[in-house]
């Protein structure tokens, strides 16, 4: 090392005598990511050159990447030292590395910045990289910045555009073009509204844009649940904890009473239809609807790129008669052009769901339940029904003992067994469920063609044993550049869903939470214990009870749905001119769904409904066998449904800029849409799945010999024969056709002022005959002003990079596809009295009936400060003309008809705030907060509400002007009577005359069932390769009525429920003696004769029923839920290189971590009411090749 220093010194001092280098040999050299020392060794081997440098320069020596043939040493050294602070000197075959002489050059760099349309961009941040020095471009896109040394790097950033970096060497004048970044959700981001792509800065509507990747929750299999807490103004509520259940979504309040309140879903420009319009006459639709899914249940969430939620009229009016509930536009992932390589991505997620336990709930255990029985019997209470003699209930044992059927020893032994049994029904009927989700995608493309294909499989197990949802989905998308100005996009999606749940009367979670824990599931030998239940079979009065076991019932019954969906989209785009485009779109979709609900011959349901005795308990020669309508087999109910739909669109889009300041975007379109549904339902009796799914005929009428009835009692509107003769076969067909014309126009001046117009007219067979109703367009107009583009803001407030004020007004529509303006005649079967066919007028004709209209206005503000704070605020109002049920004179033959005229008002405010205080290569922090408040109220009622309507609340009718839809009233609780323990009530002195027509004179308003405030919080912290994320959502303002702890008692409350029912522990705190009223509001259990309470309108209600519907029994339904807590690790370059991966991510997620809500729910989830959402843990792996 000392020799090297000495040599360097001698070279420096003799610098002035060095002459021109002699001709050096030509050498070839190829190195990749090599160290400088490796480079030195290589040129010594090939050319004999020696390289010397000061040790202080070692850290400044570059990594060498070079591939050069037959070049001189000067050319090689120049290339190696480019973009460094080093130079060299050459003498003969000796090379000395020197540091460049530093010079302070206070240069002025000037430039102009354009967007992709060559329009000047103001407010662009121009920063000197590595420093805090920077300027903003002026109103003409021009900038000036001083630099002290070269080389240096300037960065150019603007919201919604790709960041650019320019290396300054000797330039003094720059021209920069910033391109739109479609992955950013900023001002210039290109947004798909389904029908067209628009720059966000050219839109004035209220909308929210979400990257699907940002909200992806591995524990969920559909995108609707992932939207909870993400969009201000949108309420997303879980409808069930079961696998396969879809969420309920409502945007900006209630706008319809009788129609579908869910928003319209649009996938890649094609409107999605409801999977099956189940008819109200189908007997078990409730079994299916819970897990049937919705319009987008077929869509794999990992195929989604972005989601755009359109809210106000300006954003949704182009969708015409389907838009008043808002529109959710889903854009799927597409292949990438010009990549010339394949990209493969595989992801796998394993989710574990927790099982519920009794410690969560306020329910009695075996000891409490048996103690309660002793107390109420001692107090003199009677049973609602005399307990059945049996060994599997405490009360049944008492009867056996008191009536001498068992001795004291057997009684004590039986009581000990039940007391210590404490059956854990939750452990028996639920499970720690394990779900899985796997996805494989391949993308690629060239200049002429791109493609993306994906294959996914998910198996979602519910927490109840027997509940699951399975989906297999495949998708392929191809884009072909046929000519420079002609492009064809094709996509094909196929999905197979299979969901499993429970048959008639089987609800494991409900059973576990409502069944006494003293009742055993298994006997002492480990076999199923069959509790004796009352028999209601009419044809055999000799058998009074039948055996019931929930496990047996679950295992021999069920409900399943299987559906297959195929969807094809084709989009041809022709650029007639660079600024004018024609687009032809065709979408075709078909789905087939098979649903079945069955109950086998071993079930209590079949024994009680059709047989009258336990399975296998009688001989074919017995009288009981002869009294059975269905001695063999069970019941099978099936629905087969088919849906076909097509959508054809023709669109002309003009997008042109004039004189760099004027920009127009004009769309003219035509759409034809048709949806055809057909469903067939049927019931088969005698179904035996265990024997190859055969069907055994029921007993013939002449062969049935009832026991304890007259021979024909069973024929009168009862049982299987009544069903057979009335026909248990049904078919429903609907055909909806729409022809639409629509147009939008956007004009932008100088990137500051924007005007939007849109109009659409729909014609449909669902509208009336009135010509005025056929030409009844929806329309909207709006304007915006981006003050941040004004010169006075740019010069004086450069930290305000966006300040866009918006206003819009328009009409939104909602067509009720299940209604018709025509006469609806229901053709029935033969009436026995007349021996002729009969028909019933279901609906009288109303040619003036049209779709519902919602008038909407909206004021909004979009602001960005310091390039790290984004704020969006909207204030809106809506007036809906809803279809209502109107009472009409009886001479029309029906009591009411449907007509337009119900008025619903909504107004609200929404806000979303995003702060990104830290955003560097290694660290990042982002905070997102959104909230909204909606005020909803109805207009003048079209019906005369009665007391029951006020107490229950109605979501399909307006009860009182000025009150929310779904609002309800309660009796005003005044406390417990100190002498009797009975409930007392306020307002008992209300005017009787007024009360007859208006029960609210003595009732109190309790609130609305739907929440009116929504909120969401997301936090993301990134440190190097780790990211920690958490999400919360809140729903506030809703009010629920608590379950009545006396609900299983007799109406008057003086008779206690049957032994198999469990009770709430609150009953242990009921009033029992004078003085208890000081610490309890739970009335006493009544004994003997109970006198009803008479209210001012002379209505008569039992005390406990009035208490159950009092304001004391209401509870605030507000809650805050920790939706997710995620920790992910992203592999670095060293790991990826070693594994030959393009990307590698490992994620751990916790969902539904906790809920903060009123303690009065006693463990139940306020969102579901009588169930709980399970906690989940997910481990995920994502690999890119």
CA 350 to the chain's CA centroid:
20
Cis upstream peptide for 151 (omega within 30°): yes
- Whether residue 479 is contained in a domain is answered as no
Lowest mean pLDDT among 640-654, 1112-1126, 1158-1172: 1158-1172
Asked which of 98-112, 114-128, 386-400, 925-939 is least confident by mean pLDDT, the reply is 98-112
What's residue 887's pLDDT?
Answer: 66
Residue that terminates a domain, selected from 74, 99, 124: 99
In this prediction, residues 791-805 reach a mean pLDDT of: 88
Could you tell me if 32 and 114 lie in one domain? no
Global pTM value: 0.80
Question: Are 290 and 310 in the same domain?
Answer: yes
Domain residue limits at 112: 107-177
* HEC profile of 660-699: CCEEEEEEEEEEEEEEEEEEEEEEEEEEEHHHCCEECCCC
**Is residue 557 included in any domain, yes or no?**
no
Residue 287 lies in a domain: yes
Q: How many angstroms from the chain centroid is the CA of residue 893?
A: 43
* pLDDT recorded at residue 383: 80
pLDDT (0 to 100) of residue 893: 60
Alpha-carbon distance of 25 to 979, in angstroms, equals 118
Highest mean pLDDT among 426-435, 784-793, 940-949: 426-435
pLDDT tens column, 724-782: 555 567 788 888 888 999 999 999 998 889 999 999 988 877 665 555 555 667 889 99
| Nearest one of 675, 674, 655, 673 to 665, comparing CA atoms | 655
Q: What average pLDDT score do residues 1046-1050 get?
A: 80
Lowest mean pLDDT segment, chosen from 450-464, 621-635, 812-826, 936-950: 812-826
Last residue of a domain, one of 177, 205, 228: 177
Q: Range with the lowest mean pLDDT among 490-494, 520-524, 762-766, 776-780?
A: 762-766
% of the chain with per-residue pLDDT over 90: 41
| Across 430-434, 579-583, 829-833, least confident range | 829-833
- The vertex-783 CA angle with 1016 and 206, nearest 5°, equals 20
CATH number for the domain harbouring residue 198: 2.170.130.10
Alpha-carbon distance of 1098 to 630, in angstroms, equals: 49
The residue out of 1114, 1140, 1158 marking a domain boundary is 1114
Residues 1083 and 996 in one domain: yes
On the question of pLDDT at 1045 being above 50, the answer is: yes
Of residues 313 and 913, the one with the higher pLDDT is: 913
pLDDT score of 20 = 38
Model confidence at 985, pLDDT cuts 50, 70, 90, reads: very high
Measured distance CA(655)–CA(116) in Å, rounded: 13
Tell whether 1044 is covered by a domain.
Answer: yes
- Residues 238 and 151 occupy one common structural domain: no
In-domain check, residue 93: yes
Average pLDDT of the segment spanning 865-873: 91
Q: Give yes or no: residues 992 and 1048 share one domain.
A: yes
167, 215: one domain = no
Q: What is the CATH number of the domain that holds 57?
A: 3.55.50.30
CA angle 1026, 1027, 1032 (to 5 degrees): 155
pLDDT reading at 19 higher than 70: no
Q: Tell me, yes or no, whether 542 lies in a domain.
A: no
Residue 276: per-residue pLDDT:
63
Phi and psi at residue 124, in whole multiples of 5°? -80, 130
Distance CA 382, CA 804 (A): 72
Whole-number percent of the chain with pLDDT over 70: 88
721-725, 998-1002, 1066-1070, 1174-1178: the lowest-pLDDT one: 721-725
Residues 81 and 120 in one domain: no
The three-state secondary structure class of 257 is coil
Tell me, what DSSP letter sits at residue 1067?
G
Residues 26 and 165 in one domain: no
Q: Cβ distance 895 to 942 under 8 Å? A: no
Say whether pLDDT at 332 is over 80: yes
Taken as a whole, the chain contains a residue count of 1185
Strands 234-238 and 207-211: unpaired
Q: What are phi and psi of 914, to 5 degrees?
A: -125, 130
Task: Give me the residues paired with residue 501 across strands.
Answer: 559
pLDDT band at 942 (very low <50, low <70, confident <90, very high): confident
Q: Do 219 and 318 belong to one domain?
A: yes
31 in a structural domain? yes
Residue 161's CATH number: 2.60.40.1120
Strand stretches in 892-1038, DSSP E:
896-919, 923-938, 967-971, 973-976, 983-985, 1003-1008, 1013-1023, 1026-1036
Highest mean pLDDT of the ranges 132-136, 795-799, 1081-1085: 1081-1085
Per-residue pLDDT at 286 exceeds 70: no
Buried b (16+ CB within 10 A) or exposed e, 876-910: bbbbbbbbbbeeeeeeeeeeebbbbebbbbbbbbb
pLDDT class of 411 with cuts at 50, 70, 90: very high
pLDDT at 9: 37
**134 and 194, same domain (yes or no):** no
Q: Which residues pair with 786 in a beta bridge?
A: 804
Strand order in the sheet with 164-168: 134-136, 125-128, 152-157, 164-168
What's the CA gap between 190 and 103, in Å, rounded? 45
Do residues 71 and 116 share a domain?
no
As a whole number, mean pLDDT of residues 648-667 equals 89
Per-residue three-class SS string for 309-322: EECCHHHHHHHCCE
Residue 899 has pLDDT above 50, yes or no: yes
Domain membership of residue 956 (yes or no) is: no
Query: Is residue 240 located within the same domain as residue 207?
Result: yes
Count of domains for the chain: 4
- pLDDT averaged over every residue in the chain: 84
């Amino acid at each position: 090392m000392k020799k090297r220093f000495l040599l360097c010194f001698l070279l420096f001092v003799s610098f002035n005598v060095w002459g021109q280098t002699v001709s050096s040999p030509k050498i070839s050299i190829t190195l990749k990511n090599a160290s400088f020392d490796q480079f030195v060794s290589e040129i010594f081997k090939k050319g004999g050159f020696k390289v010397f440098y000061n040790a202080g320069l070692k850290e400044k020596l570059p990594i060498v990447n070079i591939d050069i043939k037959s070049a001189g040493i000067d050319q090689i050294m120049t290339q190696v030292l480019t973009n460094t602070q080093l130079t060299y000197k050459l003498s003969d075959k000796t090379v000395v590395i020197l540091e460049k002489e530093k010079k302070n050059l206070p240069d002025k760099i000037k430039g102009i910045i354009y967007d992709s349309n060559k329009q000047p961009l103001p407010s662009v941040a121009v920063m000197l990289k590595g420093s805090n020095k920077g300027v903003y471009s002026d109103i003409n896109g021009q900038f000036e910045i001083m630099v002290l040394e070269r080389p240096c790097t300037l960065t150019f950033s603007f919201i919604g555009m790709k960041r650019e970096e320019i290396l300054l060497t000797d330039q003094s004048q720059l021209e920069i073009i910033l391109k739109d970044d479609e992955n950013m959700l900023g001002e210039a981001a290109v947004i798909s509204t389904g029908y067209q792509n628009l720059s966000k800065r050219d839109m004035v509507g209220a909308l929210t844009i979400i990257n699907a990747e940002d909200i992806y929750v591995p524990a969920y299999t559909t995108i609707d649940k992932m939207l909870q807490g993400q969009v201000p103004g949108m309420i997303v509520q879980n409808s069930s904890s079961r696998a396969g259940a879809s969420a309920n979504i409502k945007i900006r309040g209630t706008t319809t009473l009788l129609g579908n309140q869910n928003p319209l879903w649009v996938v890649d420009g094609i409107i999605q239809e409801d999977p099956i319009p189940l008819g109200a006459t189908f007997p078990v639709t409730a079994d299916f609807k819970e897990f049937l899914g919705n319009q987008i249940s077929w869509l794999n969430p990992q195929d989604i790129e972005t989601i755009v939620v359109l809210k106000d009229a300006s954003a949704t009016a182009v969708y015409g008669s389907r838009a008043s509930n808002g529109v959710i536009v889903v854009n799927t992932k597409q292949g990438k052009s010009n990549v010339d390589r394949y990209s493969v991505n595989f992801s796998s997620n394993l989710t574990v769901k927790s099982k519920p336990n009794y410690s969560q709930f306020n329910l009695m255990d075996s000891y409490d339940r048996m103690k309660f029985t002793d107390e109420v019997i001692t107090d003199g209470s009677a049973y609602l029904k005399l307990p059945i003699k049996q060994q599997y209930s405490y009360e049944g044992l008492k009867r056996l003992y008191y009536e001498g059927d068992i001795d004291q020893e057997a009684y004590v032994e039986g009581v000990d067994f039940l007391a210590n049994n404490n059956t854990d029904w939750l452990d028996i009927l639920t499970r720690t469920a394990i779900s899985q989700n796997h996805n494989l995608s391949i993308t690629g493309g060239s200049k002429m063609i791109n493609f993306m294909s994906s294959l996914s499989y998910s198996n979602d197990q519910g927490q109840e044993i027997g509940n699951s949802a399975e989906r297999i989905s495949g998708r392929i998308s191809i884009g072909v550049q046929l000519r420079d100005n002609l492009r064809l996009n094709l996509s094909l999606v196929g999905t197979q869903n299979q969901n499993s749940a429970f048959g008639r009367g089987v609800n494991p979670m409900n059973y576990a939470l409502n069944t006494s824990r003293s009742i055993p599931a298994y006997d002492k030998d480990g076999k199923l214990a069959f509790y004796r239940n009352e028999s209601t079979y009419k044809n055999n009065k000799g058998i009074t009870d039948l055996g019931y076991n929930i496990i047996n019932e679950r295992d021999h019954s069920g409900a399943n749905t299987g559906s297959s969906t195929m969807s094809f989209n084709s989009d041809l785009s022709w650029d007639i001119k660079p600024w004018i485009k024609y687009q032809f779109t065709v979408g075709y979709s078909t789905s087939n769904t098979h649903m079945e609900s069955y109950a086998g011959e071993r079930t209590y349901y079949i024994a009680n409904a059709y047989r009258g005795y336990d399975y296998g308990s009688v001989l074919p020669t017995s009288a009981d066998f002869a009294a059975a309508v269905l001695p063999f087999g069970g019941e099978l109910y099936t629905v087969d449904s088919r849906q076909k739909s097509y959508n054809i669109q023709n669109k002309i889009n003009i997008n042109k800029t004039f004189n760099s300041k004027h920009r127009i975007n004009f769309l003219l379109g035509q759409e034809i849409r048709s949806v055809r549904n057909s469903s067939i339902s049927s019931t088969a009796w005698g179904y035996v799945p265990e024997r190859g799914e055969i069907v055994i005929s029921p007993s013939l009428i002449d062969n049935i010999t009832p026991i304890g009835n007259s021979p024909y009692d069973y024929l009168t509107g009862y049982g299987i024969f009544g069903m057979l003769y009335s026909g248990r076969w049904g078919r429903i067909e609907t055909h909806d056709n729409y022809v639409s014309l629509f147009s939008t126009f956007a004009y932008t001046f100088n990137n500051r002022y924007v005007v939007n117009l849109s109009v659409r007219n729909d014609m449909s067979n669902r509208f009336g005959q009135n010509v005025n109703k056929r030409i009844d367009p929806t329309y909207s107009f709006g304007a915006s002003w981006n003050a941040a583009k004004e010169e006075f803001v740019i010069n004086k407030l450069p930290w305000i990079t966006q300040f866009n004020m918006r206003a819009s007004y328009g009409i939104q529509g909602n067509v009720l596809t299940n209604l018709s303006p025509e006469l609806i005649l229901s053709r029935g079967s033969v009436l026995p009295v007349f021996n002729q066919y009969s028909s019933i007028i279901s609906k009288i004709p109303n040619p003036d009936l049209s779709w519902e209209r919602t008038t909407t206005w909206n004021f909004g503000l979009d602001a960005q400060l310091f390039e790290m704070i984004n704020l969006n605020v909207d204030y809106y109002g809506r007036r809906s003309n809803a279809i209502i049920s109107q009472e009409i004179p009886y001479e029309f033959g029906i009591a009411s008809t449907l007509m337009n005229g119900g008025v619903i008002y909504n107004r609200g405010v929404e806000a979303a705030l995003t702060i990104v205080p830290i955003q560097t290569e290694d660290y990042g922090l982002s905070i997102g907060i959104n909230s909204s408040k909606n005020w909803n109220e109805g207009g003048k009622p079209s019906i005369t509400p009665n007391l029951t309507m006020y107490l229950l609340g109605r979501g399909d009718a307006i009860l009182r002007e000025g009150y929310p839809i779904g609002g309800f009233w309660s009796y005003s609780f005044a406390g417990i009577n100190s002498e009797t323990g009975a409930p007392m009530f306020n307002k008992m002195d209300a005017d009787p005359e007024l009360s007859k027509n208006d029960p609210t004179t003595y009732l109190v308003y309790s609130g609305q069932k739907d929440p009116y405030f929504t909120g969401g919080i997301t936090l993301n912290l990134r440190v190097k390769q780790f990211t920690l994320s958490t999400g919360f959502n809140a729903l506030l303002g809703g009010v629920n009525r608590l379950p009545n702890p006396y609900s299983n008692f007799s109406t008057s409350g003086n008779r206690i429920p049957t032994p198999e029912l469990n009770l709430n522990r609150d009953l242990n705190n009921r009033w029992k003696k004078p003085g208890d009223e000081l610490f309890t509001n739970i009335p006493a259990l009544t004994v003997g004769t109970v006198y009803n309470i008479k209210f001012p309108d002379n209505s008569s209600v039992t005390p406990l029923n009035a208490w159950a519907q009092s304001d004391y029994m209401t509870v605030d339904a507000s809650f805050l839920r920790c939706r997710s807590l995620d920790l992910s690790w992203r592999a670095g370059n060293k790991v990826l290189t070693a594994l030959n991966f393009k990307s590698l991510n490992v994620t751990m997620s916790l969902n539904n971590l906790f809920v903060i809500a009123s303690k009065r729910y006693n463990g139940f989830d306020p969102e579901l009411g009588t169930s709980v959402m399970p906690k989940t843990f997910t481990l995920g792996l994502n690999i890119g090749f």
